[in-house]
Chain A
């Protein structure tokens, strides 16, 4: 049986998750994204959960230290010479913030609970082969870092016993090279559901920084959710104005072009990517398109609908269009899609994102169907 403190610990984690859920809308609206730590964990700054007590205000109190220094010298371990304004902001948050580590799954389940997202029913068969390597076996070769000491010494002991070199009174075992054993990997083939998310974004002049920030935040949470649903997930990024090109994530959120807008260019590229790389029998395909709704011409819109109908929708789990409101955008494309596919189409999901506060609802629009 575990020590009772594990229950206290579980209770603490539950409280923390509750706090995060309560503040999820604030986190999302502020664009405060949990920072990934590399090992699949996310660090989340928590509004303090200490017990409030009567205590002295910090600033007046100052403190005491030991060491060198003349009056006026900075005390070590402080932030460097910041701008005066910055310093003040920093000092107000002086109370120690608790940082909580959550795994992707935990974070996704908080999102899922808050938005009441259904689990996705994968459409593909489990045909995607994925190789997982697990260090479960022992080999005679390998790098030192994988050396298995116990097994190596066992081999050495065996050898010494067999050769009659082992002396029980002076049990010194010296492994030689042939005794060395190393952990080695077993490759295991697993069949998985895999998914690809293809983000398309209009980067023409009318999409400002605020609009991009919205897309960025929204895509973070969408990725998070999909990652919790599929084991293997690939993410592709397409930017477009009048022409489209595939870019990496950083460029995707940074680029700003000034040309006109031909949405069909992005959809064409999307179609090409799907056709060349992703067999829809094996892949769950999620094209997301974000724009402010401006398109160059009605002819192009017609072309778009055609590509969607013929090539993209049949291949995809669901096609999602998010329209970010901007001062310059007409929002026409939403109307066009809406006229064709209507409100409650199962294969085409439309969402309007007015401002940052609407991100959470928009995520719900896209993922709430469980497609």
Chain B
């Protein structure tokens, strides 16, 4: 059943026009396939992370429910969806006004360029459309065999781990992985103190092997497994999902599902790490293309209205579109005028600084470079300046227990920047590491929350531990800091315990 159709007629002509401008400006992207669809379809696509086929799970239904209601009540509307694939698929809402379609197309070319060129996306699978569909088929097959409820419950549990990822894994080429394994093996030869844990590990692995492969008489396969067991594979301690795949007593289908969800989580990770840049870049280009090239005089009001709607500042949240586009513009301006480098920074004459213009004209070049090499954290760290902060009227707010409301806390540059960076660190999730898979020498799992100033939400942590316990099947623990006290929260299958 086709719910989307390729653009044709006037829209196809419009696409040619906009694409011409995009090319002229030097945007570089995989072929973009535009399709139009109705609002219901775009809600479905959005609920499924942009993909037409996903594995069956109720949470997609929940997101769809909320998007549909939001649309029905006129609270929100999705104009477009772009997917990081090759070719790059982009969906337009058929009810968009003509000028909206223009904006959206220009915006899409910005995203497409970003997907292809930003370094953090370089390892993502550009065939994800097929991969996602295959994942769906696989999981449906498991549901047929093991029951929908059993599989769905397992997925529910795994989703609790979805944010326990290590961004460095994005760059782990097979070559790198091999080298890391080798260095790890060397270490292990010297390390004799912890042989019991590896003994337990290999016991668990052999147990798992017996469960999974009860009747494999084929000797070569058997050898293969032994060899694997002898060279312990190095896993980043922050890659909790992979740890569980390797060490938890899972059935084959469960390990497979865990692997599938891990792959999807890593696929989406770069998008979570570059939200500000990605939206800023796309907005920069829709704005540039529209105002410099594509806009007709009669469309200016509508364009200004919609652009302003997207860029609106909010007191509760910073708008990534706004911060992103303004930062790119600021960078362009600074590199056009030469407001960078030692000479500028060390200049103490405020008037000179204000009117600084070396006519370097490097702005465009610089922003293309920035979009290639940065992610949100480095982007903010490097280009978020006091002047910019003041111009954007950014503040931090804090909950005041006395008045029971959030209040403006500070407009001080240093604290704003620190807070902004903190909220972006590890894509906004707490850093969680696997500390031990044989805690207390009882095969318990010990996770460690690397405390960076903000405590965990205890209730959520407790519920999460329960879900991990379902996978690990032995007691699970997490060490963290609560109100400046070292704390270990544990779940042994019956109750949550907190000890200091």
Name A residues whose Cβ lies closer than 8 Å to a Cβ of B: 1, 3-15, 49, 51-79, 81-84, 86-88, 90-91, 101
Residue among A4, A59, A66, A84 with most chain B CB within 10 A: A66
Determine if B64 and A9 form an interchain contact, defined as CB atoms under 8 angstroms apart. yes
Q: How far is the CA of A101 from the CA of B403 in the complex (A)?
A: 33
List, sorted by A's number, 5 A–B pairs whose CB atoms are closer than 8 Å: A11-B61, A12-B62, A63-B406, A66-B315, A81-B403
Does residue B318 face the partner (Cβ distance < 8 Å to A)? yes
- A residues within 8 A CB of B402? 84
Determine if A58 and B404 form an interchain contact, defined as CB atoms under 8 angstroms apart. no
Task: Using CB atoms, name the residue of chain A closest to B405.
Answer: A78
Q: How far is the CA of A55 from the CA of B403 in the complex (A)?
A: 26
Determine if B460 and A8 form an interchain contact, defined as CB atoms under 8 angstroms apart. no
Determine if B398 and A62 form an interchain contact, defined as CB atoms under 8 angstroms apart. yes
Interface flags for B439-478 (1: CB within 8 Å of A; 0: not) read 0000000000100001111101111101100000000001
Q: How far is the CB of B224 from chain A (nearest CB, A)?
A: 36
* Also in contact, A74 and B407, with CB within 8 A (given A5-B60, A64-B395): yes
Determine if B460 and A54 form an interchain contact, defined as CB atoms under 8 angstroms apart. yes
Name B residues whose Cβ lies closer than 8 Å to a Cβ of A: 1, 3, 41, 44, 47-48, 53, 56-62, 64-65, 69, 152, 156, 159-160, 162-164, 313-319, 322, 392-399, 401-411, 416, 419-420, 423, 429-430, 432, 449, 454-458, 460-464, 466-467, 478
* Also in contact, A79 and B44, with CB within 8 A (given A9-B61, A12-B61): no
- B residues within 8 A CB of A59? 399
Cβ 8 A contact of A56, one of B64, B409, B430: B430
Determine if A84 and B44 form an interchain contact, defined as CB atoms under 8 angstroms apart. no
- A residues within 8 A CB of B463? 52
Q: How far is the CA of A181 from the CA of B405 in the complex (A)?
A: 55
Cβ 8 A contact of A77, one of B156, B316, B409, B429: B316
Q: How far is the CB of B144 from chain A (nearest CB, A)?
A: 14
Cβ 8 A contact of B403, one of A66, A76, A84: A84
Determine if A74 and B405 form an interchain contact, defined as CB atoms under 8 angstroms apart. yes
* Also in contact, A4 and B56, with CB within 8 A (given A56-B454, A65-B317): yes
Q: How far is the CA of A178 from the CA of B460 in the complex (A)?
A: 67
- B residues within 8 A CB of A66? 313-315, 318-319, 322, 392-395
- A residues within 8 A CB of B61? 5-13
Q: How far is the CA of A56 from the CA of B405 in the complex (A)?
A: 19
Q: How far is the CB of B329 from chain A (nearest CB, A)?
A: 16
- A residues within 8 A CB of B394? 64-66
Q: How far is the CA of A6 from the CA of B47 in the complex (A)?
A: 11
Q: How far is the CA of A13 from the CA of B407 in the complex (A)?
A: 38
* Also in contact, A65 and B314, with CB within 8 A (given A12-B61, A15-B58, A71-B408): yes
- B residues within 8 A CB of A81? 403-405
- A residues within 8 A CB of B464? 52-54
Task: Using CB atoms, name the residue of chain B closest to A69.
Answer: B408
Cβ 8 A contact of B399, one of A9, A62, A86: A62
Q: How far is the CA of A101 from the CA of B322 in the complex (A)?
A: 34
